[in-house]
Amino acid sequence: MNTSFFSEMLQSIADRSRALILRERREPSHERSAGIIELCEDLLSGRGEASGVALANEILAEYADLTIGPRIAFFEALANTFGHDRPRIDEAVAAWRADPSAKVAAELQRAAEPRRLELLRRLNLAPGGTAALVRMREQLLDAVNRRDDLRLVDGDFVHLFSSWFNRGFLVLRRIDWSTPALILEKIIRYEAVHAIRGWDDLRRRIEPEDRRLFAFFHPQMVDDPLIFVEVALTDYVPDAIEPLLAEGRTPCPPERATTAVFYSISNCQKGLRGVSFGNFLIKHVVEELKRELPKLTRDPLRVRWLL
């Protein structure tokens, strides 16, 4: 099956994710007369789809320039200005009490939705919007401690991210020595269990024939992994991690491997905390290893954790 048409098609997503940053530089914030809150109101009220993209773009660029104080103020606006619509809820609650039907339940649900949910959905229209919103939530997490109002905002981020990062959209990729350097560089930075000490150390973990590193990616954030796991194939059951990472060791030919040691797993996006990918990644990797090393399907692959 010639799937290249489709992959080329999808490539433009990658190109778009990078467009935002470029645009920021080209359109300096001269004459940004309207404040970010007004812009958000415009975006919410707007009909025009395409001007919506431009607005979303501008809001995210403005946001990126905010210092801590105004950023907290923006989060507070998300909590309050773009919160729930009390009169509308009151009305729907009254309707429910008169007629507790499916139709009124549906209206009740719509009425109770905070306005920020739709605002965040529209911000997602900007090129690179998803990645920008993940970064936004990362900063929200820093501010959220002991602030119940912001915690509700955070819950809405999690709700949206759970839908956008639906596991059906995740893409498993093996990372090896032929992977672009800009991805490898992030692997080095994100490794959270056994620190990777530079390029030579990374190479020892991805180039030998008995080593595997798999990552999940999302179509909207194609040059930034979501989570990755590191695996060593061995022909014995090891009980320490050091020999597996030692320099100068002799690789085990994969066809002789009986055990897959999962020795590290790292979440990459702090802004996606609470949207869990780990179990799903491991299931996928186990299936991938079984496909690659079919002998292991009969003599079942022993998976061992050594963190």
Which residues in the 38-97 window bind its own copies by CB under 8 A?
48-50, 53, 79, 83-84, 86, 89-90, 93, 96-97
Render 117-143 in DSSP notation, one character per residue.
HHHHHHHTTSTTHHHHHHHHHHHHHHH
- The 8 Å CB, 24+ separation contacts for 242-250 are 244/306, 245/194, 245/204, 245/205, 247/204
Q: Is the Cβ of residue 129 or residue 232 nearer to its own copies in the bound state?
A: 129
Q: Is the Cβ of residue 243 or residue 278 nearer to its own copies in the bound state?
A: 278
User: Do 143 and 72 form a contact (C-beta atoms < 8 A)?
Assistant: yes
* Residue 126 touches its own copies, criterion: CB under 8 A: yes
Binding span for its own copies by CB under 8 A among 70-78, 147-155, 233-241, 264-272: 147-155
Q: Is the Cβ of residue 110 or residue 302 nearer to its own copies in the bound state?
A: 110
Please state the closest distance from residue 229 (CB atom) to its own copies, in A: 15
Judged by CB under 8 A, the residue of 37, 183, 193, 306 near its own copies is 183
**Residues 228-267 within binding reach of its own copies (CB under 8 A):** none
Q: How many CA atoms lie within 13 A of 261 on its CB side?
A: 22
Please state the closest distance from residue 240 (CB atom) to its own copies, in A: 29
Please state the closest distance from residue 215 (CB atom) to its own copies, in A: 9
**Residues 262-291 within binding reach of its own copies (CB under 8 A):** 279-280, 283-284
* Residue 158 touches its own copies, criterion: CB under 8 A: no
C-alpha closest to that of 245 among 288, 301, 191, 168: 191
Strand order in the sheet with 227-234: 171-174, 211-217, 227-234, 259-267, 302-305
* Residue 124 touches its own copies, criterion: CB under 8 A: yes
176 by DSSP, 3-state: which? coil
* Residue 157 touches its own copies, criterion: CB under 8 A: no
Over the window 97 to 116, marking each residue x when it contacts its own copies by CB under 8 A and - when it does not, the resulting string is x--x-xx-xx-xx--xxx--
262 by DSSP, 3-state: which? strand
Structure tokens at 50: 């395409």
User: Do 237 and 302 form a contact (C-beta atoms < 8 A)?
Assistant: yes
C-alpha closest to that of 278 among 223, 206, 228, 225: 228
Q: Is the Cβ of residue 90 or residue 235 nearer to its own copies in the bound state?
A: 90
Over the window 203 to 222, marking each residue x when it contacts its own copies by CB under 8 A and - when it does not, the resulting string is x-------------x-xx-x
Q: Is the Cβ of residue 109 or residue 297 nearer to its own copies in the bound state?
A: 109
* Residue 27 touches its own copies, criterion: CB under 8 A: no
Measured CA to CA, the distance from residue 235 to residue 258 in angstroms comes to: 5
Q: Is the Cβ of residue 232 or residue 281 nearer to its own copies in the bound state?
A: 281
Measured CA to CA, the distance from residue 222 to residue 182 in angstroms comes to: 11
Judged by CB under 8 A, the residue of 81, 179, 259, 267 near its own copies is 179
Binding span for its own copies by CB under 8 A among 137-145, 179-187, 240-248, 295-303: 179-187
Measured CA to CA, the distance from residue 139 to residue 167 in angstroms comes to: 24
Q: Is the Cβ of residue 121 or residue 273 nearer to its own copies in the bound state?
A: 121
